[in-house]
Amino acid sequence: MNRYEFEDKISDYIDNQLSVSERKAFEDFLNSDNEAKELVESVRKTIKLLSSAETVKSSNEFLPNLTSRINSEKKNISKRSKQKTSNHFFGFTRTNASLMVVLLVCFVSVSLNLLSTEGPTIQSNIVSNTSNQIKDTTPQFSNSNTNLASTTSDTSDTTSIPRSNIKLDKKIKLVKNQR
Amino acid sequence: MMNQQLQNLSTQQLDMNSKFQYTDEELISRFQNGDEQAYIALVNRYKDKLINFVYRLVNDRDQAEDIIQDTMLKLYTHKHYYRNIAKFSTWIYTIAGNFAKTELRKKKTRKVTNNSQLGYEDRDYDPPSNEPSPQKLVEDDFINTKIHDAIDNLPDHFRIVTVLRDIEKLSYEEISSIVEIPLGTVKSRINRARLQLQKDLKELI
């Protein structure tokens, strides 16, 4: 260990931060050099002196001053939160709230218009179509011998009628017959 | 309510400090849950330590007190910023240290001489209760002035680590967290600062 290495490790030695081997090397150097020994002792005393230095304490006004600052800070916070709440409607800013109201009114009016004009017509059409279908299919079951193909609607269910009873000769013209 | 609580502090010891001895972390946790008594206990526990630390850095008692007021106010308003992953002492010293660093930077740019920087002996401090002799008082005052000047002569980056280690008695690891520099750098800065102080205070040893 040279002088520079020794000086670098003085604090580590005093604060017990050296490993066993480093400590041994340090102490060997210390025992061989009286000046080094004196320096370590001097640094040790300096540390002691620093810790014995007079400490500065807070003044008597510290706590009252802090209290008044905290109180004013509290007032500021409550003021800010009040301002925030007065400027907001249901969590929206004034601009956003008015925009939302306009959008809502538009949506409601459009949906009302759709319901009042198109809605009933569609419903009535659906109702009339289904009633027609019912009318068309009912006679087929009552007069099974009659010509089923002459019914006005092609949408009737023919799956339940036997194939032999259906006469489609006059109603259907095949491509083959046209030739 | 808070006002009354704080005013009563000087006359009566808080149960939190005297009887139960809550740890700092328990106290901050209680404060985070709305217990203002815990805040008061923390203020009482740290105000003098922090003022002493900051005073060594900014060299102005009034300014140090203002900085600690800012620190305590920040503790009050930003209590939820503390997470129980670091020691409370490290956190609060970091806040105070950062305020002090900002003040030092401002001071450097202003370069204004403050009256409070004229002499350490001008400032009032609480005299010991057993009233030493006038000669002893003069001696102590001389030693304190010398120590103060020696610390003041250190560069800022040496001063902060030395104050934290040799006056505030914090561990190397804590200092490393507070100053936000590697452990090795902390050690080397402390060592070099001590060697410089040893030279400056040779006549007192």
Helices (H), chain B: 2-7, 15-18, 24-32, 36-58, 61-77, 88-110, 134-153, 156-162, 172-179, 183-200
Of B86, B104, B99, B121, which Cα lies nearest the Cα of B50? B99
Helices (H), A52-93: 62-86
Give A68-92 pLDDT, tens digit per residue: 999 998 888 777 777 766 666 677 7
Distance CA A17, CA A7 (A): 14
- Helices A62-86 and B36-58: crossing angle in degrees, nearest 10, is 120
- Give me the residues paired with residue A88 across strands: A93
Residues of B in contact with A70 (CB under 8 A): 2, 73, 76
Distance from the B200 Cα atom to the nearest Cα atom in chain A, whole angstroms: 10
pTM, two decimal places: 0.64
Confidence of residue A114 (pLDDT cuts 50, 70, 90): confident
Q: Does B125 touch chain A if contact means CB atoms closer than 8 Å?
A: yes
Q: Does A118 touch chain B if contact means CB atoms closer than 8 Å?
A: no
Encode A146-164 in three state secondary structure: CCHHHCCCCCCCCCCCCHH
Q: Does A17 touch chain B if contact means CB atoms closer than 8 Å?
A: yes
Contacts of B68 (CB under 8 A, 6+ apart): A58, A62, B47, B50, B51, B54, B96
Encode B5-21 in three state secondary structure: HHHHHHCCCCHHHHCCC
Give A3-51 pLDDT, tens digit per residue: 888 999 999 999 999 999 999 999 999 999 999 999 999 999 999 999 8
Report chain B's terminal Cα–Cα distance, integer Å: 51
Amino acid at A135: K
Asked if B194 contacts A10 with a C-beta cutoff of 8 angstroms, the reply is yes
Q: Is B169 in a helix, a strand, or coil?
A: coil
Distance CA A26, CA B24 (A): 38
**DSSP letter for each residue of A41-55:** HHHHHHHHHHHTSPP
Give A139-165 pLDDT, tens digit per residue: 554 454 445 444 455 555 556 666 666
Say what the pLDDT of residue A85 is. Answer: 65
Say what the pLDDT of residue B10 is. Answer: 46
Partner residue opposite B64 with nearest CB, options A10, A53, A56? A56
Residue indicated by tokens 């808080």:
B14
Task: Give the mean pLDDT of A53-81.
Answer: 87
Nearest residue of B to residue A77, measured between CA atoms: B77
Asked if B120 contacts B145 with a C-beta cutoff of 8 angstroms, the reply is yes
Say what the pLDDT of residue A73 is. Answer: 86
Beta-strand relationship, A92-93 and A88-89: antiparallel
Partner residue opposite B65 with nearest CB, options A17, A39, A58? A58
State the complex-level ipTM: 0.76
Asked if B122 contacts B57 with a C-beta cutoff of 8 angstroms, the reply is no
**Per-residue pLDDT tens digits of chain B, which is 205 residues long:** 555 555 555 444 445 555 458 899 999 999 999 999 999 999 999 999 999 999 999 988 999 999 999 999 999 999 989 987 789 999 999 999 999 999 888 877 776 544 444 444 444 555 455 566 778 788 888 888 899 999 999 999 999 999 999 999 999 999 999 999 999 999 999 999 999 999 999 888 7
Residue B116 DSSP label: G
Distance CA B161, CA B171 (A): 10
Q: Indicate yes or no: CB of A67 within 8 angstroms of CB of B7.
A: yes
Contacts of A36 (CB under 8 A, 6+ apart): A3, A6, A29, A30
- Give me the residues paired with residue A93 across strands: A88
- Give me the residues paired with residue A92 across strands: A89
Asked if A13 contacts A43 with a C-beta cutoff of 8 angstroms, the reply is no
Distance CA A64, CA A161 (A): 102
Say what the pLDDT of residue B205 is. Answer: 78
